[in-house]
Amino acid sequence: MDTRKLGKNGPAVSALGLGCMGMTGIYGEPNEAESIATIHRAIDLGVNLIVTSDAYAAGNNEELVGRALKGKRSRVLLATKFGNVGLSGFKLPEGLSAGHPAYVPQACDASLKRLGVEVIDIYGLHRVDPKVPIEDTVGAMKRLVDHGKVRHLALSEAGAATLRRAHKVHPLVALETEYSLWSRDVEKDMPRARYRLDGVFASRPRVPHCNDQDAGRAPAEG
């Protein structure tokens, strides 16, 4: 399996990663045994990037991935995300929004517990919170790195301007965004984004029926 390096100081990941969103009922009836077997087979084939989110099935997806990685944790780079409360259905503490600096460590601790791990390799903001400056959210994420709970940071569905602002607070290793033959809007921002980071996770690369409303995508930025 070919590998790609994420950023100047980021990890080396397999050219193909495994996104686990569909394993807990997003696209059909879930089958845990089959899902775990799929994760194990991917690892055996050289895939070392496993991607989940606390939003998928309200944390159940992270728990599934955690069970699948028992005894195999050292062979993978584990990526998860927080902040997509519209999809997760989580009820946040009073006075906090999804990107609030006080919520960030709470979300991370919950993910660590569900995954059954001590550290997350790549921790991402699933959706930019319009109520909170990105610098404040990423500043809180940076403190997770400082405390040894997270190794690297990423953003999802963010435009070039937001990436620039975030990157000034702490280096980002990747942008996760919907990108496929059917969804190529991101290309207009790609040249401006790539000078700040070298990693792009293409989500839903083979799902032509997903539209912006279904995916909850943030509007394009300049």
Q: Catalytic positions, please?
A: 56
End-to-end C-alpha distance for the chain, whole angstroms: 35
| Cα–Cα distance, 117 to 50 (Å, whole number) | 14
Residue whose entry in the numeric block shows the structure tokens 């992270």: 62
CB 124 within 8 A of CB 176: yes
CB 209 within 8 Å of CB 79: no
Note the Cα 86 to chain centre separation in Å. Answer: 15
CB 49 within 8 A of CB 79: yes
Q: Three-class SS of residue 175?
A: strand
Q: How far is residue 12's CA from residue 186's CA, in Å, rounded to a whole number?
A: 23
Spatial separation of the C-alpha atoms in residues 78 and 180, rounded to whole Å: 23
Side chain identity at 4, as an amino acid letter? R
